[in-house]
């Protein structure tokens, strides 16, 4: 029985520590949780767009230097010309 009491006390301590975790304290109301998740989604979306833009720009720039595949190199150079022209 002593082992069981020890395990229950240990579990109780862990639950108490979890109650004081920052993630649970910051979501004390559904409004705060909604705001937090909305802002998190905005940050994720913004980061994804910026990352994809940089990746596509690097890919197009690298493909513009490809001369052994004439169609791809010319297409990439045309994309770069359109981008530099502003639209």
Residue whose token pair is 């994809």: 52
Predicted TM-score of the model (pTM): 0.53
**Where do the domains of the chain lie?**
2-85
Please write the tens of the pLDDT for every residue from 27-47. 777 888 888 899 999 999 999
Q: Helix, strand or coil for residue 38? A: helix
Please write the tens of the pLDDT for every residue from 51-73. 999 999 898 888 777 666 666 77
1 by Cβ neighbours in 10 Å (0-12 / 13-18 / 19+) ranks as exposed
């Amino acid at each position: 029985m002593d082992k069981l009491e020890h395990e229950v006390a240990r579990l109780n301590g862990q639950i108490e520590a979890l109650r004081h975790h920052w993630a649970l304290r910051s979501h004390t109301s559904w409004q705060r949780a909604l705001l937090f998740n909305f802002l998190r989604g905005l940050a994720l979306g913004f980061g994804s767009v910026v990352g994809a833009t940089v990746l596509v720009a690097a890919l197009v720039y690298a493909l513009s230097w490809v001369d052994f595949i004439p169609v791809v190199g010319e297409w990439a150079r045309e994309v770069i010309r359109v981008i530099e022209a502003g639209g």
